[in-house]
Amino acid sequence: MRQYILRRLLIAVPSLLGISLVLFTVLALAPGDPFAELVTNPNVPPEVAQALRTKFGLDDPVHVRYLRWLAAMTQGDWGFSFVSRMNVDTLILQRLPTTLYVIGSAQVLALLIAIPVGVFAATRPYSIFDQIANTLAFIGFSLPTFFTGLLFILVFSIKLDWLPFVYTTDIKATGIQWVVEQVRQAIMPVMVLGLFQAASMTRFVRSAMLDVIRLDYVTTARAKGLGQTRVIVKHAMRNAMIPVVTLVALQMPAVFGGAIVTEQIFRIPGIGSLLISSILSNDTPVVMAVTFVFACLVVLFNLIADVLYGWLDPRISLR
Amino acid sequence: MLDNELRTMIDEVKDGRMDRRAFVQHLIALGLTAPMATQILAVGGVAMAQSKAPYKPTKRGGGGPLKLLWWQGATLLNPHFATGTKDQDGSRLFYEPLASWDAAGNLCPILAAEIPSTQNGGLAADGKSVTWKLKPGVKWHDGKPFTADDVVFNWEYARDPATAALTIGVYQDITVEKIDDLTFRVLFKGPTPFWADAFVAVVGCILPKHLFADYKGAKSREAPNNLKPVGTGPYKFVEFKPGDLVRGEINPDYHMPNRPYFDTIEIKGGGDAVSAARAVIQTGEFDYAWNMQVEDEVLLRLEKGGKGKTVYTTGGDIEFIALNFTDPNTEIDGERSSIKTKHPLFSDPAVRKALALLVDRNAVQKHIYGRAGRTTASFLNGPEQFVSKNTKWEFSIEKATQLLEEAGWKVGADGIREKDGRKLKFLYQTSINGPRQKTQAIIKQACQKAGIDVELKSVVASVFFSSDVANPDTYSKFYADIEMFQIPMTQPDPAQHMRRFHSRFVATKENKWQGRNFPRWVNKEFDAAIDAAEAEVDPVKRAAFYIRANDIMWEDTVVIPVMHRLKVGAAVNSLRPVLSGWTNDTDNIQDWYREA
């Protein structure tokens, strides 16, 4: 097992190198530059914009820039943002808690809805409950988050005036009041993201469960005289969870990566909004760092999923 | 003759033989405008009537929080590094310049004891130096005194290329010398009629020497105070999260009486303009939102029975169509739109004039810009004393058709006009932006009726406005026949705004297309007018030169002005923001208050 993990980690190194190379090249080839706003500003002479480009090394060939970035990265230096002239790691760490809180809650909400509903629907396929759950799931994942987000704002903030639609990171309250406010402002974004996720996950859990529930060993368990709950939870669910674990594991990096659209709509200062604003202002070091961290997380969680399979199903052995 | 008469009159006002009102009326009779007359008096040595906005609060503080919503948040808080207005706005809460601009484009003292003038000896007669006096007793937020040493340091800091300050353009060509602790002099290389650039408004914000002295030059990025401003401003720094939030609290030792009114201030960033308008006008969650680039129709709907309204300020921002004077389809030495070529269609003035007649500015205003735009025929739309009264525009498909017929452009079999085998076909490019695509459609329609075929092209803004040498779609490469965008006027003086069309700034491959004269228009008479204006100290003659320069552009149809754009903000009904179209929204933040 330990050997397996070590081998997987070693394999990850060249693939991460490859990913970083591709990312860097694509970003370098992408049109636009971080000093675009200066060009139309008559206060900044063209020579100044040029000098800044040289200073930040934007005029060097791509491979030189890549090697420089790689060398710095291996020493733990993530570089600094062209736009805010701040270290990239501070910028990301500042945004991380908000993203973890909002997107994490949304994922938890999604799981809390998807697993019971999916399992219950699978035990009674084509019943009224299953039909309703299916219909709602289809509606749920057909509606894009930017639409439900705006709809929620119009209904809950503007018409009813119950919830704020601008997320604030510095709530001026303490104790219980602070917690209440923190929850209140997260309700809408968490709902929007969570329901969207729950919809597709419910479908997934249901079909995984349906596959398992018809197998002989489930029938055997029933024939032994075990109760319905016990059969479902202990015998069927554990095996049905394998594809679900894959799905959740691949979702985990997204928890860190933020949700670009939803964060933008509710002005949540998370990683997603950092990424989009950096992309729009061509702030390459930040875009590079965020996407690269994302890539690392994908690799890592894939490994975790593989390890979990072995625990869920002892027939799968890892070598 | 006019000049002599003016001098005599100014002397009469000075001696009290003629009152200001009579003087202004005389000038109006001579065909000059009232603001211009006041300007003349100021330079002639008569103090300007103070145009301070009324400020009602009678004590400092007690106004509660002021919540501002910028749909792009500030990303840094060092005014010398500010890449856009969002950053300047954020740092302006804490840092202050010597003076700021009011709505009419007049200077108001902030850290200066008074505005330099010829009368108080601040302005040298030859226009080569300005002496500023600082307000005594001003303290930095950390209690250290503010002196002329700080001002001199800011000049040294910004002009050092290693600092990589974006304000270097303002400071690199001047010399600043300290006279005493509260007096310093700015020396210019030549006569400089517009002297109020350095140390004024957002580019003039002063950093404390004692905190930044060790971080001048290459180490500028490492200064801890880049993220924790210590200024002289009405608000003290509390917290900063790049792109998200800037927070400040009242400065109890602020140097202006009864100011500021609010106890805390915050600028929240992010999101989009429409929802920002909602948060102010409809729900009142925030007090003020900036840069409402939202269709007027939407704003009108939000305003109905809402808690806020839109506020408009007039500057000189101009949305216009530029005509390419070179040929975008012929390549010379690897360069399209080369200055060595002539545009095959626009070399005929009739075509340019016809095109100008086909821009229906009324329709554009009515259907697109609404209250945020004014129709105009001039490229230069402010301040008042520089605005030409000689230009006019009209929309007439008949006249355009007639003009083209007379010039020999006949309708061909396909309904498109042609002459000597050249068809009247244009490529019309602009950046991707709702209002611009609609304007393109309106103009294309009119052109079609007149037998001109227009092909529309829109480029992503981040590409269109970039300085990327490798990209063919930038506005400065201009690989199209006509293009449309907006040029903002960042200060109430036409020098920078008009200079760009001087022939020495033509964009070429050689200068990496960084020349600002992107229509590649060359006109000796225009060059002469600009050169003369830039060396002219007499404001009347100087204004006359700029008016002439504007008229030459109009006569030659270099650009077709589409809309004089106003700045739009959104404020809750109780807020009294002090804004100016000539500067950033927060440039007079100390004067903002709320009325019950």
* B425–chain A nearest CA distance, Å: 28
Cβ proximity of A294 and A256 under 8 Å: yes
- Return the amino acid letter for A134: N
| Residue A272, pLDDT score | 87
pLDDT > 70 fraction of chain A, expressed in percent and rounded: 93
* Contact state of A31 with B476 under an 8 Å Cβ cutoff: no
B253 at the A interface (CB within 8 A)? no
CA distance A244 to A130: 19
Query: Residue B512 — left, alpha, or beta (φ > 0 → left; ψ -120 to 50 → alpha)?
Result: left
Q: Considering only CA atoms, which of B549, B462, B441, B555 is closest in space to residue B502?
A: B549
CA distance B387 to B405: 33
Report the b/e string of A58-95 with b at 16+ CB within 10 A. Answer: beeeeeebbeebeeeeeeeebbbbbbbbbbbeebbebb
* A303–chain B nearest CA distance, Å: 34
SS3 content of chain B, % helix, strand, coil (to 5): 35, 20, 45
CA angle B564, B565, B570 (to 5 degrees): 155
Q: Provide, as residue numbers in chain B, all residues whose Cβ is less than 8 Å from the Cβ of A189.
A: none
* Contact state of A170 with B487 under an 8 Å Cβ cutoff: no
* Contact state of A81 with B75 under an 8 Å Cβ cutoff: yes
Cβ proximity of B206 and B199 under 8 Å: yes
* Contact state of A38 with B467 under an 8 Å Cβ cutoff: yes
| Residue B317, pLDDT score | 92
- The distance between the two most distant Cα atoms of chain A, rounded to a whole number of Å, is 85
* Contact state of A39 with B243 under an 8 Å Cβ cutoff: no
In this structure, of A181-190, A275-284, B98-107, B500-509, the range with the lowest mean pLDDT score is: A275-284
CA distance B542 to B456: 39
CA distance B133 to B113: 6
Cβ proximity of A266 and A190 under 8 Å: no
Query: Residue A33 pLDDT > 80, yes or no?
Result: no
| Residue B161, pLDDT score | 83
B245, B462, B473, B565, best to mutate vs chain A, most A CBs in 10 Å: B462
| Residue B47, pLDDT score | 43
CA angle B150, B154, B160 (to 5 degrees): 145
Tell me which of B249 and A166 has the higher pLDDT: B249
CA distance B15 to B13: 5
ipTM over 0.85: no
CA distance B415 to B413: 6
B268 → chain A, closest CA residue: A168
Per DSSP, which regions of B432-520 are E strands? Answer: 453-459, 482-487
The tens-digit pLDDT sequence of chain B (596 residues) is 345 566 666 666 666 666 666 666 666 655 555 555 555 555 544 444 445 568 889 999 999 999 999 988 888 899 998 877 888 999 999 999 999 998 888 899 999 999 998 888 899 988 899 999 999 999 999 999 999 999 999 999 999 888 888 888 889 889 999 999 999 999 999 888 889 989 999 889 999 999 999 999 888 888 999 989 999 999 999 999 888 899 999 999 999 999 999 999 999 988 888 889 999 998 888 999 998 888 888 899 999 877 899 999 999 999 999 999 999 999 888 889 999 999 999 999 999 999 999 999 999 999 999 999 999 999 999 888 899 999 999 999 999 999 999 999 999 889 999 998 899 999 999 998 888 999 999 999 999 999 999 999 999 887 888 777 778 898 989 999 999 999 888 889 999 899 999 999 999 988 888 888 999 999 999 999 999 998 888 888 899 999 999 999 999 999 999 999 999 999 999 999 999 999 999 999 999 999 87
CA distance A135 to A130: 9
| Residue A229, pLDDT score | 85
Tell me which of B52 and A109 has the higher pLDDT: A109
Cβ proximity of A45 and B168 under 8 Å: yes
Q: Considering only CA atoms, which of B119, B150, B118 is closest in space to residue B135?
A: B150
Q: Which residue has the tokens 């040929």?
A: B327
Three-state helix/strand/coil letters over B379-443: CCCCCHHHCCCCCCCCCCHHHHHHHHHHCCCEECCCCCEEECCEECEEEEEEECCHHHHHHHHHH
CA distance B71 to B79: 19
Q: Considering only CA atoms, which of B571, B65, B66, B73 is closest in space to residue B277?
A: B571
Cβ proximity of B282 and B83 under 8 Å: no
Helical packing angle, B2-15 and B20-29, nearest 10°: 170
Q: How far is CA B364 from CA B322, B440, B596, in A?
A: 17, 10, 38
CA angle B587, B589, B592 (to 5 degrees): 135
* A295–chain B nearest CA distance, Å: 24
CA distance B164 to B84: 15
| Residue A280, pLDDT score | 80
- Return the amino acid letter for A203: R
* Contact state of B170 with A84 under an 8 Å Cβ cutoff: no
**pTM summary value:** 0.83
Q: How many C-alpha atoms does B305 have within 13 Å on its Cβ side? A: 1
Phi–psi pair at A80, nearest 5 degrees: -130, 155
CA distance A152 to A200: 20
* Facing residue for B468 by CB, picked from A31, A81, A273: A31
B412 at the A interface (CB within 8 A)? no
Q: Provide, as residue numbers in chain A, all residues whose Cβ is less than 8 Å from the Cβ of B200.
A: none
Cβ proximity of B500 and B541 under 8 Å: no
CA distance B242 to B227: 9
